[in-house]
Structure 1
Amino acid sequence: MRLRIFTEPQQGASYETLLTVARAAEDLGFEAFFRSDHYLKMGSVSGLPGPTDAWVTLAGLARETSRIRLGTLMTAATFRAPGPLAISVAQVDQMSGGRVEFGFGAGWFEAEHTAYGLPFPVDAGERFDRFEEQLAIVTGLWQTPVGETFDYQGKYYRLTDSPALPKPAQSPRPPVIVGGTGRRRTPKLAAAYADEYNVPFTVLEGTRAAFDRVRAAVEEAGRERPMVYSAAQVVCVGRDEAEVARRAAAIGREVDELRVNGLAGSPDEVVDKIGRFAEIGTERIYLQVLDLSDLDHLELIADRVAAQLA
């Protein structure tokens, strides 16, 4: 099982805070540092100092880290046109020496769109139609051989004689991550385009069911290349119950609820639950760390959880 650190900067984090956490995650041996791609806080937190852009952040981290992989869960297709998005991600991949992974989703949070003047198709079917076209365009641009051009004629996007440049450092492209628990279109899109399928914040049986739907879609598509199956879970680990309770309170959650809906408790409890995720085929866990000031939490996870899973 590979452990990755996943952050939610829209809840309140500067670039310097994210750099500190990313460097700590790298030094402690975690496989990857990921962040959400949101422009508006959620819940009762202040959100100060305000949002940071995911790909601007990752470009900076690409130059200030050396080993750890970098990515998003998930970049919203509603935020950026597919051509410029392909350019940005390819450039960050070059800047990192080939360490980028591209988590990509249809977009869902209407309030952040209205807050910053971004068009938001209210109809979920249209959002998924646009998402599917963007997946085809972004991956198509990256995989077009140098010297050839890329054309695409869709309902929402049209590209003509694109030079399909720049190319990412990874060939044929950075890994693409598609996630969510949709029952129909998500499995088909994952089978068609993704290298990894991620189930966010879902209990064990729900995660198993989502994996099974994607496995069926992969088989139906006759796909030969392997799919990585992963899960994202909020994490709250403590050396004793008092420490678990303190960390839960710091993120506005209850310990009993986190034990059900996340990875919470002693290191041994969390290792045991991760083992149950491994039994259903989970290969990576994204640990959602909500208190970015608590670097001791990362050290405890590295020393007492990751060490047992190595």
Structure 2
Amino acid sequence: MDLRIFTEPQQGASYDTLLAVAKATEDLGFDAFFRSDHYLHMGSVDGLPGPTDAWITLAGLARETKRIRLGTLMTAGTFRLPGVLAIQVAGVDQMSGGRVELGLGAGWFEEEHKAYGIPFPKEKFARLEEQLAIVTGLWATEVGQTFSHHGTYYDLTDSPALPKPAQAKVPVLIGGHGASRTPRLAAQYADEFNMPFGSIEDSERQFGRVRAAAEEAGRKGDDLIYSNALVVCAGKDDAEVARRAAAIGREVDDLKANGLAGSPAEIVDKIGRYTEVGAQRLYLQILDLDDLDHLELLSSQVQSQLS
């Protein structure tokens, strides 16, 4: 089971804070550092010092880390034109020596679009399908050839399709709870399917849908990696769990029911139940980015039992 650290910087984090978490992620043996792609805080927090751009941040971290994978859950398709996104991700992949992964979604948080003057189209999912075709098509075009796409929302003519990522194939992640369109899109474009904040039962059901869609599309169901993203709140004892839950404004019972919370033994047990329904990778959502002791506990008491 791969354990990856997943952060939500829009809730309040500077680049220096993210750098500290990324370095701890690497030093403590986790597989990857991922971040959300949002420009506006959610809930009652003030979001200070303000948002950081996902791909600018990852570019910096690419030069400051050596081993861990780097990526997004999920880049919002509404934020960037697909040709520009392909250039950005390829550049960061080169800067990292080939350690980047692209999670791409349709975009959903209308308030952040209003706050920063970003168009929020109605046909987001149809646009996402074209975006995936364009980004992956640009990367797959051989050097010296050109790429064209004439779709409903985007029109590219004779693009040189440069630059190329350092990797021969940048892994593409698609996720979500949708029962039909999401599995179909994952089957067509994804290297990994991510189930965000889903129960064990919902994850099993959705993984099954994606496997079926992959087979219908002519792929093997096992061609994809299946993963979950879950909030985590661990503690050596009940008091430490309660303290960490209070720090992120959550109730312990809610975290235990809908995430990974409790003692290391409780968390390992629940991870095992996700493994039983097909999860191969977990993105541990860390909401208190100043609590690096939390990462150390997860490394020494949880990750050590899963290797």
Give the TM-score band, short-chain normalised.
over 0.9
Give a deviation string over 1:164-184, Cα, whole Å, max 9, x none.
00000000x210000001111
Q: Which residue of 186, 193, 208 maps to 1:190? A: 186
Please list every run of at least 4 consecutive aligned residues from structure 1 whose deviation after the TM superposition is greater than 4 angstroms: none
Give a deviation string over 1:222-264, Cα, whole Å, max 9, x none.
1147100000000000000000000000000000110000000
Distance in 2 of aligned mates of 1:103 and 1:249 = 30
Q: Which residue of 153, 157, 178 maps to 2:154? A: 157
**Counterpart position of 2:304:** 307
CA positional deviation for 1:36: 0.1
Distance in 1 of aligned mates of 2:147 and 2:219 = 24
CA positional deviation for 1:90: 0.2
> For 1:222-241, what aligned pairs fall within 5 Å after superposition?
222-224=218-220, 226-241=223-238
Distance in 2 of aligned mates of 1:210 and 1:291 = 29
Distance in 2 of aligned mates of 1:265 and 1:235 = 9
**Counterpart position of 1:41:** 41
**Counterpart position of 2:113:** 113
**Counterpart position of 2:239:** 242
Q: Percent identity?
A: 73
Secondary structure in 1 matching 2:223: coil
Residue type of the alignment partner of 2:304: A
**Counterpart position of 1:177:** 173
Q: Which residue of 206, 211, 216 maps to 2:212? A: 216
How well do the aligned residues superpose, as a CA RMSD in angstroms?
0.6
**Counterpart position of 2:294:** 297
Distance in 2 of aligned mates of 1:35 and 1:214 = 24
CA positional deviation for 1:219: 1.0
Determine if the alignment matches structure 1 residue 286 to structure 2 residue 283: yes
CA positional deviation for 1:271: 0.2
Give a deviation string over 1:186-228, Cα, whole Å, max 9, x none.
0000000000000001111011111111111011111147100
Q: Which residue of 251, 254, 257 maps to 2:254? A: 257
The TM-score, its normalising length taken from structure 2, stands at 0.99
- Greater displacement, 202-211 / 223-232: 223-232
Distance in 2 of aligned mates of 1:137 and 1:33 = 26
Distance in 2 of aligned mates of 1:293 and 1:54 = 19
Residue type of the alignment partner of 2:262: G
Q: Which residue of 134, 139, 142 maps to 1:142? A: 139
Distance in 2 of aligned mates of 1:17 and 1:128 = 33
- Greater displacement, 215-224 / 239-248: 215-224
Q: Which residue of 248, 262, 269 maps to 1:272? A: 269
Residue type of the alignment partner of 1:54: A
**Counterpart position of 2:56:** 56
> For 1:51-90, what aligned pairs fall within 5 Å after superposition?
51-90=51-90
Residue type of the alignment partner of 2:208: D
CA positional deviation for 1:101: 0.4
Distance in 1 of aligned mates of 2:199 and 2:191 = 23
Distance in 2 of aligned mates of 1:251 and 1:210 = 29
Secondary structure in 2 matching 1:156: coil
Give a deviation string over 1:15-39, Cα, whole Å, max 9, x none.
0000000000100000000000000
**Counterpart position of 1:7:** 7
Q: How many residues align?
A: 306
Unaligned runs of 5+ residues in structure 2 are: none
Give a deviation string over 1:91-113, Cα, whole Å, max 9, x none.
00000000000000000000000
Give a deviation string over 1:141-161, Cα, whole Å, max 9, x none.
000000000000000000000
Distance in 2 of aligned mates of 1:151 and 1:46 = 44
Residue type of the alignment partner of 1:187: P
Residue type of the alignment partner of 2:238: E
Secondary structure in 2 matching 1:148: coil
